[in-house]
């Protein structure tokens, strides 16, 4: 059961990573990247590393996303 959940998480992780690369809209890419961080956080927790999971949730999904959004609001929204 746990293996199925792990497999599902890893498939979702790779899918979101590919989506981030392929998205031309940087705002959407930032939001998808925060989803990637949340899934990564779940993977860390499943692998038994709650410390890293906390860091990933706080830094990856929280602070970096805000910094990305501030940067986008300061520059351009679409990749050329």
Partner 1 sequence: MKRIAVIAVLVAAFVPLAAAVAQLPTFGEASNPTNTYLVPRYLQKGPEEAGAANVVTDVILNYRGYDTNGEVVVIFTALIAALATLLVRPKQMAATPPGDDAPRSPIVSFVVKAIAPFIAVFTVYLVLHGHLSPGGGFQGGTIFGALIILLSLTLGHKYGLSLLPERSRPWLQAAAVLAFIAVGLLGWALCGAYLAYPSYSQLEWVREGWLIALEIGIGVGGAAIFATVFWTMEAEP
Residues that bind partner 1 (CB under 8 A): 50-51, 53-55, 58-59, 62-63, 66-67, 70-71, 74
**Nearer Cβ to partner 1 (10/54):** 54
* Smallest gap from residue 49 Cβ to partner 1 (A): 8
**Nearer Cβ to partner 1 (8/55):** 55
Residues 6+ apart with CB under 8 A from 30: 65, 68, 69, 72
**Nearer Cβ to partner 1 (14/66):** 66
* Smallest gap from residue 22 Cβ to partner 1 (A): 26
């Amino acid at each position: 059961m746990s293996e199925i959940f792990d497999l599902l998480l890893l498939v979702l992780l790779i899918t979101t990573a590919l989506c981030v690369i392929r998205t031309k809209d940087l705002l959407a890419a930032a939001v998808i990247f925060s989803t990637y961080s949340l899934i990564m956080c779940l993977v860390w927790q499943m692998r038994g590393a709650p410390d890293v999971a906390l860091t990933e949730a706080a830094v990856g999904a929280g602070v970096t996303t805000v910094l990305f959004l501030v940067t986008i609001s300061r520059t351009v929204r679409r990749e050329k």
